[in-house]
Amino acid sequence: MGLTSGKVLALAVMVAVGLFVGTVWLWPRLARRGWRNVSGRVGLLLSTQLMLFAAVGLGANQAFGFYASWADLFGQETDQGVVVDHTPTSGPLEVVDTRRVPGAASARPDMGGQIQKIGIVGRTTHIATPAYVYLPPEYFQPQYRTRTFPAAVVLTGYPGTAQALVDKLDYPRTAARLAQDGRMQPMILVMMRPTVAPPRDTECVDIPGGPQTETFFAKDLVDAVSGHYRVGRKPGSWGIIGDSTGGYCALKLAMHHPQVYTAGAGLSAYYNAPTDPTTGDLFHGDKELRNRANLWWYLKHMPAPDTSLLVSSSKVGESNYKATLKFIERVKATKLTRISSIILESGGHNFNTWRREIPGTLEWMSGRLSGR
């Protein structure tokens, strides 16, 4: 049974309840002195506590999509990573599966849109990673057969799963509803996680001697998607959205590559790449690379990028609230870079908060992109 299976969660809850009942039932018998009775009491308490933590952890994982499988949880994932494509004749993008949009009234693509699971291999970086692509109904309708569409890359946090963007954060369903209501134009969404070299958190950095993650998102991904789908190729056709780590990546990529990403939205983002056990040594002593990854430094020392940024936070519940207000003021001082914000009265660093911000974010993004 998989880590995200409802049966696993139900089993953990049943075992936890059974241990709790067993502890209450057996406690009088184990109330005597002696190492066996003491060991029995300790064993029952520890077992009950462990199963309670396991049940809560499994429930939290299902709600927030931290880990997709047991291998992902224990750092043993092997089906994704940084690889070298030894088959020059193969394309950089392959569609491996299709599915209907959750909540769509029809399974027909021209009426309900379609979600395609794809595999991408970067031509220059050789990074291989999966993604989901949402295609709006208009993409399949005859009257739009020659039309190109704007596209937005959507990134999870770390570790995150791309599927959570579809099933938990409801990006495709939200985009379809907003377009139907006339609040945004039909857009292609490329949904993936920024962790393209799992289990390492690369923070969308071109790591010396390691994964060239920034180049992958700034060049390889855009080239692969544009070569396969009818995406606008002129400046102003691409935007990027992310939450948490993905939000930091979205802001950085829009600032570093405004000629590619004309708009970047960071939901609950931070503004400087951390260094911790999940990232390892990202910069290998390269001071310039370290400085470029610091958005505060970038705003102060580099020419202001001609791009639009959106940041979000909450007055209560988000640790980045003060930093976000400061970032807004820093961007406003550049005079060239545009800045918008979503500030909630309260909301934690979780899916429920981001679901409240996604409709406004997609509407904002749509107003800044063009498919032509």
Q: What is the pLDDT of residues 318-355, one digit of tens each?
A: 999 999 999 999 999 998 999 999 999 999 999 999 99
- Cβ atoms of 151 and 187 within 8 Å: the answer is yes
Specify the pTM. 0.78
For the cut 70, the answer to whether the pLDDT of residue 82 exceeds it is: no
Going by C-beta distance under 8 Å and a sequence separation of 6 or more, which residues neighbour residue 259? 235
Q: Is the peptide bond before 102 cis (omega within 30 degrees of 0)?
A: no
**Assigned token pair, 63:** 């709600």
Q: For helices 6-26 and 35-64, what crossing angle results, to 10°?
A: 150
Q: How confident is the model at residue 55 (pLDDT cuts 50, 70, 90)?
A: confident
Does residue 81 or residue 268 have the better pLDDT? 268
| Whole-angstrom distance, CA of residue 248 vs CA of residue 242 | 7
The amino acid present at 298, given as its one-letter code, is Y
Q: How confident is the model at residue 42 (pLDDT cuts 50, 70, 90)?
A: confident
Alpha helices by DSSP H, listed for the chain, are 6-26, 35-64, 70-73, 109-112, 162-167, 171-180, 213-215, 221-228, 245-256, 287-292, 295-301, 321-332, 351-366
